[in-house]
């Protein structure tokens, strides 16, 4: 087991002892590793520090907040402990787990390739969080079949696992782009490169996750951009 892995496990144990935590994310997507477009995007990110090639069609799986993730198509597998509460309303997924031993997060198992890289994107607002320190908070994680990468999000900051805390007000909506390739990863917030880091552990899984590990209240909302979203509805009456 690597040092980074032990650190993650220590952090998870810390959550189980924590108190109430609140946060709210938005769009969660991930990009498969076999696309030339992805390679171009990651190359551009590394070269410029900005994601110039955002293209929703490149994402292999998205969550749009229309239904609970476990009811989405393709499905996001629910992983929970205790009795956390999840609900969707107006395109927003809200997760509340306010007991010490609870957690609730969602995972998808797309085809990932460490050489090509993986791109995980979420729009996140963290209203409150327990344990405001590095390597704590709610998490986005990538397992690309070779390594695991994790970023921690808190109401007052964030960090790539094992990196130092970066102060940032996450009580406002933030667009988080987590890109991993090889042994390295980069975190962009609202289009700016904010931190670079390394893998947590070796991992044969091909998995991306979002959600809380313990003591969290969170929301996910699909909103491609701006502060105006469009919704629609239908009433059908008949045989």
Partner 1 sequence: MAFIMHDEGEEFVLQVAFSEEQSVPANFYVGLCNDTLVKADGLADIVDEVSGTGYARQTVASDNTDCVVTADGDYYKVTFAKQTFTAGGTWTEANTAFLATTVDNAGKLIASYPIAPVRTLGNADTVDVEVYVRHKHEA
238 binds partner 1 (CB under 8 A): yes
User: In the numeric block, which tokens belong to residue 173?
Assistant: 């909506």
**How many alpha carbons lie under 13 Å from residue 222 in its C-beta half-sphere?**
17
From the list 178, 210, 223, 217, the residue with the least C-alpha distance to 78 is 210
1 binds partner 1 (CB under 8 A): no
94 binds partner 1 (CB under 8 A): no
Q: Which is nearer to partner 1, 47 or 226 (CB)?
A: 226
Q: Does residue 187 contact residue 163 with C-beta atoms inside 8 Å? A: no
- Give the nearest distance from C-beta 57 to partner 1 in angstroms: 7
Q: Which listed residue (66, 79, 166, 193) binds partner 1 by CB under 8 A?
A: 66
Q: Please list every residue from 169 through 198 that binds partner 1, using CB under 8 A.
A: 173
Q: Please list every residue from 45 through 64 that binds partner 1, using CB under 8 A.
A: 56-57, 64
Q: Which listed residue (1, 36, 47, 230) binds partner 1 by CB under 8 A?
A: 230
228 binds partner 1 (CB under 8 A): yes
23 binds partner 1 (CB under 8 A): no
Q: Does residue 144 contact residue 118 with C-beta atoms inside 8 Å? A: yes
At residue 124, the 3 state secondary structure works out as: strand
DSSP code string of 19-30: ---EEEE--EEE
CA trace torsion 130, 135, 137, 142 (10° rounding):
-170
239 binds partner 1 (CB under 8 A): yes
Q: Site residues (CB under 8 A) for partner 1?
A: 56-57, 64, 66-67, 90-91, 173, 227-239
């Amino acid at each position: 087991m690597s040092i980074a892995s032990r650190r993650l496990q220590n952090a998870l144990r810390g959550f189980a002892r924590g108190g109430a935590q609140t946060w709210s994310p938005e769009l969660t997507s991930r990009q498969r590793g076999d696309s030339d477009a992805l390679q171009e995007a990651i190359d551009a990110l590394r070269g410029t520090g900005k994601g110039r090639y955002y293209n929703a069609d490149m994402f292999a799986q998205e969550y749009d907040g229309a239904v609970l993730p476990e009811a989405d198509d393709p499905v996001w597998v629910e992983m929970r402990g205790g009795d956390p509460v999840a609900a969707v309303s107006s395109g927003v997924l809200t997760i509340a787990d306010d007991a010490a031993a609870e957690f609730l997060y969602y995972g998808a198992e797309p085809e990932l390739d460490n050489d090509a890289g993986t791109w995980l994107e979420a729009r996140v607002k963290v209203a409150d969080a327990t344990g405001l320190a590095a390597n704590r908070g709610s998490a986005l994680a990538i397992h690309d079949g070779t390594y695991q990468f994790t970023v921690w999000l808190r109401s007052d900051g964030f960090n790539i696992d094992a990196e130092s805390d970066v102060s940032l007000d996450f009580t406002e909506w933030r667009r988080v782009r987590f890109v991993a390739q090889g042994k390295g990863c980069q975190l962009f917030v609202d289009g700016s490169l904010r931190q670079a880091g390394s893998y947590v552990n070796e991992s044969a899984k091909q998995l991306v996750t979002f959600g809380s590990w313990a003591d969290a209240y969170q929301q996910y909302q699909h909103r491609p951009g701006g502060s105006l979203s469009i919704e629609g509805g239908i009433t059908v009456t008949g045989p």
